[in-house]
Structure 1
């Protein structure tokens, strides 16, 4: 086994971590919303508590993807995982976008509730 093959086979763990965090980030809001449907003690409004979690996990996924890409650049493309890191970054952005949608929904709900009580 040559040195290049061993390096290529080891992969880039940062890229895999970025994908894992990105998947969890993108799934946080839908899981929180579905959980409120099957719970008698939580309402849909309580799913808003998952927003900071989704944003934090998405930011971590983006940061980890960036470090994976820098690691691959530093190794002149031999570390691998560029596609995986890009996927992790895209999933992190998706998680933040879903959380942002939740923020907008909560803001509209708050505004409509405020206007309805006046």
Structure 2
């Protein structure tokens, strides 16, 4: 969506997309576009390095789209508990996409988790 360029003249969208391809090489194109859109739209990720923005957006996208995370929140679970309960499902999705799994210790809130 955004064609903005950073101070180095590098297109932010292309940089985030390239980082995402390295992080999750088997991520389908449709999901990749959604993750890049999420990274570019998140105020908390605007100044993040492309690799960090891509990773945080990827994890948030997978958590909200492919797990029961939002249902658990609606059922009254706090964020940390909901993250704990969906971690295995989240990691299965990440591994399917060729990304590294995350550990329980790393399953803390990230900037892009606001919907």
TM-score normalized by the length of structure 1: 0.30
Higher helix share: 1
Tell which structure's C-alpha radius of gyration is larger. 1
Higher RCO (CA 8 Å, separation ≥ 6 residues): 1
Q: TM-score, normalised by structure 2?
A: 0.31
